Amino acid sequence: MTKPVTAYDAIILGAGGAGLMCAAIAGQRGKNILVIDHAAEPGKKILISGGGRCNFTNIHTAPDRFLSENRHFAKSALSRYTATDFVDLVNRHNIAWHEKTLGQLFCDGSAKQIVAMLLAECPENHVKLSLGMPISDVSHADGEYCVTCGDRTAKASSLVIATGGPSIPKMGATGFAYELGRKFGLKIVEPRPALVPLTLGGEETLFRSLSGVSAPVIASCGKTAFREAALFTHKGLSGPAILQISSYWQHGLPVTVNFLPDRAIGWLVDLKRAQPRMQLKKAIAECLPARLSETLIDRIALTGDLGNLADRKLEDAARRLADWRFMPNGTEGFAKAEVTAGGISTAGLSSKNMEARQMPGLYAIGEAVDVTGWLGGYNFQWAWASGYAAAQAL
Ligand code: FDA
């Protein structure tokens, strides 16, 4: 006997931030929606985000804080569902929040509140969740998408790919979105780990002994720079400044670290005039954590009283501290990456509603798409905004 096929207006694959937002808005518009996720609970990445407090948006959200092959792509969706719109939603649910730093908004309580809010926004009579069962087949025929999960098949004229990217596979993250995208003729921009610690090898392994030391720096790669903290790890470099710059880094490029972002190049010469008997070692040690200053001074290989050192040598030392070049030999990979850069190419999608140009009824949203935000709530804002954009069209 053939199994019954249940019909919906749209099937959303993935119950993460993007999928849940899309389901909630489409459900509120009266559409019948099925959300399918192989995980046993929805919004797992939301739950662990922001150290359990979810950095749910950033008040400085702007298109230039996102990476994509098409840097204009995110503009439309971001302008139609803004950080303020999400804050209004959070306020309507009486979820207390605070700004931590750099416009990053976090729950005062728990990330669980954000998942509960999104689920509460899904009208029960319009949104059904199917959790904990793998998807065995996705097909398209006669204008309908069919999705099979165990012994159940559902069909709809719209299918939304919201299965995210492969970062943190141990949480159930997969590259399924790319498999589906390719199957339906969408191009994939090579996925790569982003917001990820960088690893050091060769001579630079000596910096691993600084594991646990952090300092406020400016980290740069090419023309991009971030002023935040850097942290040495037992594998290399991490901390917000490094995670941010990792999204712009490619193999073979140096990452430049300014360990003294508030000092001008002439600061040691000025200090020499004021305190000629001060040791260079002491001058640097006063500005940096002890273990870090010792390692950097060793590498600079310059010792003695400031008064006995030539101005040129002092300027060279200051320049070195302001322009320290690391040559990372890799990243800690998808296992440690907060997000995946690359993904379903925006070239085949409408920036207005995320629909595939060549495949009517197919949509891709959230991290599955080649749009990657900076650290600090930008990736969730993209999940909400792209989910909202697609929901208007379902
Ligand atoms: P998301 O990955 O959230 O959801 C995809 C869903 O699809 C998952 O539920 C998954 O189970 C499901 N799925 C995957 N493969 C499937 C398959 N084959 N079959 C069925 N279902 C499948 N961002 C931010 O803005 N602020 C923050 O504080 C943080 N913090 C943070 C911490 C950590 C540790 C990580 C790893 C990431 C963050 N992020 C973040 C990034 C943020 O979590 C991420 O960008 C969004 O969750 C992306 O939302 P999506 O809904 O697109 O994918």
The H or E element that residue 99 is part of is strand 97-99
Classify residue 93: in a domain, yes or no: yes
Asked, for residue 19, whether it belongs to a domain, the answer is yes
List, for residues 150-160, the tens digit of each pLDDT value: 889 999 999 99
Pocket lining: 382 vs ligand 1, CB cutoff 6 Å: no
Q: Do 37 and 89 share a structural domain?
A: yes
One-letter amino acid of 328: P
Any atom of ligand 1 within 6 Å of the Cβ of 49:
yes
Residue nearest to atom 46 of ligand 1 (CA): 380
Residue 10 lies in a domain: yes
Ligand 1 and 45: CB distance under 6 A: yes
- Report the distance separating Cα 32 and Cα 85, nearest Å: 24
How far is Cα 28 from Cα 20, in angstroms, rounded to an integer?
Answer: 12
Q: What is the CATH number of the domain that holds 14?
A: 3.50.50.60
* 146 is a domain residue: yes
Measured from the CB, is residue 240 less than 6 Å from ligand 1? no
Q: Is the CB of 129 under 6 A from ligand 1?
A: no
C-alpha 246/C-alpha 196 separation (Å) is 6
Residues forming beta bridges with residue 369, ordered by sequence position: 344
Question: 247 CB under 6 A from ligand 1?
Answer: no
In a domain, 336, yes or no: no
CATH of residue 256's domain is 2.40.30.10
pLDDT of residue 1 exceeding 80 = no
Choose one of 291, 310, 331: the last residue of a domain: 331
> What average pLDDT does this structure show over 196-216?
95
34 plus 182 within the same structural domain: yes
Q: Which of 78, 87, 338 most suits a substitution to test ligand 1, by most atoms within 8 Å of the C-beta?
A: 338
112 within a domain of the structure (yes/no)? yes
**Cβ 61 under 6 angstroms from ligand 1:** no
Closest-lying ligand 1 atom to the alpha carbon of residue 15: 9
The answer to whether residues 315 and 379 belong to one domain is no
In degrees and rounded to multiples of 5, residue 384 shows phi and psi of -65, -50
85 and 174 within one domain: yes
pLDDT digits (tens, 9 = 90+) for 81-100: 999 999 999 999 999 999 99
pLDDT band at 4 (very low <50, low <70, confident <90, very high): confident
pLDDT of residue 384: 99
> Are residues 210 and 130 both part of a single domain?
no
Q: What are phi and psi of 196, to 5 degrees?
A: -135, 145
Task: Examine the domain organization and report whether 301 and 368 are in the same domain.
Answer: no
Q: Hunting for tokens 């996102």 — which residue is that?
A: 66
State the pLDDT at residue 206.
87
> In terms of DSSP H, where are the helices of the chain?
17-28, 44-48, 75-80, 83-92, 112-121, 176-183, 240-246, 267-274, 280-285, 290-300, 311-322, 378-393
Ligand 1 centroid, distance to 174 Cα (angstroms):
10
Tens of pLDDT, residues 116-150: 999 999 999 999 999 999 999 999 999 999 999 98
The span from the CA of 138 to the CA of 352, in Å, is: 25
Instruction: Answer with the one of 281, 296, 331 that is the final residue of a domain.
Output: 331
174 shares a domain with 235: no
Query: ipTM above 0.95?
Result: yes
* CB of 379 shorter than 6 A to ligand 1: yes
Note the pTM of the prediction, 2 decimals.
Answer: 0.97
Say if residue 188 is in the same domain as residue 45: yes
Residue 272 sits in which domain range? 198-331
pLDDT at position 3 over 80? no
**Co-location of 160 and 287 in the same domain:** no
> Quick one: pLDDT at residue 150?
87
Residue 279 is assigned to a structural domain of this protein: yes
- Please report whether residue 166 resides in a domain: yes
Please give the Cα distance from 240 to 242 (Å, whole number): 5
Question: Token digits for 394?
Answer: 């379902």
Q: CB of 164 closer than 6 A to ligand 1?
A: yes
43 with 27, same domain?
yes
Total domains in the chain come to 2
Residue pair 387/22 in contact by the 8 Å Cβ criterion: yes
Final residue in a domain of this structure, among 281, 309, 331: 331
Q: What is the DSSP code string of 284-313?
A: HHTTS-HHHHHHHHHHHT--SBGGGS-HHH
Given a cut of 80, whether residue 185 has pLDDT beyond it is: yes
> Dihedrals φ, ψ of 68, to 5°?
-170, 155
Ligand 1 atom closest to the CA of 168, numbered from 1: 36
CA distance linking residue 150 with residue 160, whole number of Å:
20
Q: Are residues 174 and 49 in the same domain?
A: yes
Give residue 164 CA to ligand 1 midpoint distance, Å.
6
Model pLDDT, residue 237 = 98
256-269 average pLDDT score = 97
Task: pLDDT band for 2, please (50, 70, 90 cuts).
Answer: low
Residues 124, 26 share a domain: yes
Pocket flag, ligand 1, residue 366 (CB < 6 Å): yes
